Amino acid sequence: MLFKTGRLAVLSGFAAVALAAGLNAATPTRIKSTEDMNSRAGPTINPETAPGRPLFEQHCAMCHLGGVPKAPSPNFLAMLAPDAIVSALTNGVMRQQAASLTPAEKVQVAEYLTRTPYASYQRPAPPPRCKGAAAKFDMTDVPADIGWGHDNRRFIPATIAGLAKADVPKLKLKWAFAYPAATHIRSQPTIAWGTLFVGSQDGTIYAMDPDTGCTKWTTRLSAEVRTAIVADAATKRLTFGDLLGKVHVLDALTGKEIWAQRMSDHADATITGTPTLGGGLLFVPVSSLEVVQAGNPAYPCCTFRGSVVAVDPATGAEKWRAYTAGQPVPQGKTADGTQILGPSGAPVWNSPTYDAATNRVYFGSGENYSTPADDGSDAVFAVDATTGKRIWSTQLTLGDAWNVGCMMGLGSCPKEGGPDYDVAASPLLIDTGNGAKMLVIGQKSGQAWGLDPDTGKVKWMTRLGHGGTQGGVHFGMSAEGNRVFVPINDMADTGDARLYDPAIRGAGLHALDAATGNVIWQAKAKDNCEGRKFCDPGISAAVTSIPGVVFGGHLDGMLRAYDADTGAILWQYDTTQPMPAIGGQTAKGGSMSGPGAAVWKGKVFVNSGYGMYSHAPGNALMVFEVAK
């Protein structure tokens, strides 16, 4: 059966390695706790001996370990900035619950949760304020409907990119910015009205001059910005999602918040994929971090259901919600005696694709978090953009239920045991000629798929790698015309004791014909890590294309420009090197994951640093320009 090939091909690869490689095979590792996946920069707090631990257990654990449905888990809180936690305990939503704590104890709780010594958490002043002409917005530079939030093909036309293929090898670093107290950057830069807009780990939004990095305004919100900043030319507003599952809408010219609305009442809900504007609505993908909760064998897993929510972009009022997974109900207990609830999960990690011609919205889902696996996981959906009614769904991998408990070998791992083959990247709607269209899908299985956008029927499947827990396609593909550029992650060791067949490892960049799935070229990445921890050669970050060129950021910190016709490397830059940054700081990148490059008027804007999930930390925003 075609729909089963995704799982069986990789499982046969595991068997081949185990049987044929024998003693020469590298021994895969297994994480002992979620702490093993963290890659922190600077001093850290030992959670076992932290004075904030007993304080948290006495005053907070009852609610945040599942006692109150809307209370975020410690794993979730660990991703907040330390001062944001102290602020919540002092003046925010938790001030009543923390009324008995002294100021010093509130700091200790924040240190325990974030593993960060408060004394080392220093927020330098933002970049210098712009003056004169740099402080003004160029109202003639109207943002085009390209990139995440508008057109998920991530292709930037020559009129906007302003960068010829022949000039790409001449790119040089123009300026860099060190995000304050950051180890990872999830926000895709956006350039509109002559201004660079980007979010950060501590929830600050920056409106910067693209030439110098000075700020026109900054606005700090409650939590990390995880999506692209979507600029709406008609309303002069910015839209994005955050760690806490909120959508925010700001005035682009002042930074003033117009509205903010949480998209789910689940405590671990978040927004990873960028909200999409189309047809008078805003389509918001809802994912969650509950998948990590099962790393605690006592946690009743799981109750989250993935969805896409359509809201009024003017007010945030919900119009409809399309769920992926079925309604969770009790399913028995684990060997540890913990309640199992399912089906669950099937998060929507990707930015929905809106098609005005058919008034449809397309999106993909991830794995179920608990038994039983249902038909909503690892699937592609087409829904009516006006009502949210499902038109069709196509499941690419059957029987996929997985959570972090599987990585640790715990009883909380569902009986299906994975394989964790999310459809994590946005579907690309491609015009293949003569009026024909193809919906191209990238999956963590290491496969690319071509689906009929009218019916969801599979037209072709091409294997590009072995896939896995951290394998295959992650954050996003790109397309120029009929060519689709597919980045493959394919980590060799994913910390879950799995064996992967190195013969089919696809780490690197691949080009396909959208009509047939035929491979045009493959540019597999050389492994230059030389044993460095949290270093891998593959591409997890979304790729971006301009005429004749594809920009891809690698997990080893290399930013490369590939020839779109041949896959040859035109230019590369090591983002892990220390760089002088504006304001007298030092910027240093790390693994590149999440957002990709933005290109505007001859400049390339990119973030580097992904200190989470076994990747290298970094804090760099870089701007490149052709040397004159």
| pLDDT value for 222 | 80
Supply the DSSP string of 167-189, one letter for each residue.
Answer: GGGGEEEEEEEE-TT-SB--PPP
DSSP state for residue 627 in the 8-state scheme: -
Q: Which two tokens stand for residue 142?
A: 């109207």
Distance CA 47, CA 83 (A): 18
Q: Which two tokens stand for residue 436?
A: 């024909």
List b or e across 317-331, with b for residues whose CB sees 16 or more CB atoms inside 10 angstroms: eeebbbbbbbebeeb
Distance CA 572, CA 590 (A): 15
Residues 215 and 208: beta-carbon distance below 8 Å: yes
Rg of the chain over all Cα atoms, to the nearest angstrom: 23
| pLDDT value for 118 | 80
Count of CB atoms within 10 A of residue 300's CB?
18
| pLDDT value for 397 | 98
| pLDDT value for 120 | 74
Residues 32 and 40: beta-carbon distance below 8 Å: no
Low-confidence ranges of the chain (pLDDT < 50): 1-25
Q: Which residue type does 540 have?
A: S
Number of residues written out for the chain:
628
Helix (H) or strand (E) holding 488: strand 483-488
**Domain segments of the chain as ranges:** 34-120
Q: What are phi and psi for residue 12, nearest 5 degrees?
A: -65, -30
Count of CB atoms within 10 A of residue 574's CB?
12
Helix (H) or strand (E) holding 107: helix 103-114
| pLDDT value for 4 | 32
Distance CA 507, CA 568 (A): 15
| pLDDT value for 229 | 98
| pLDDT value for 19 | 33
| pLDDT value for 69 | 63
Helix (H) or strand (E) holding 462: strand 458-463
Where are the strands (E) in 264-346, listed by range?
269-270, 276-278, 281-288, 307-311, 318-323, 329-333, 339-342
| pLDDT value for 52 | 81
Candidate CATH numbers 1.10.760.10, 2.40.430.10, 3.40.50.300, 1.20.1560.10; the one for domain 34-120: 1.10.760.10
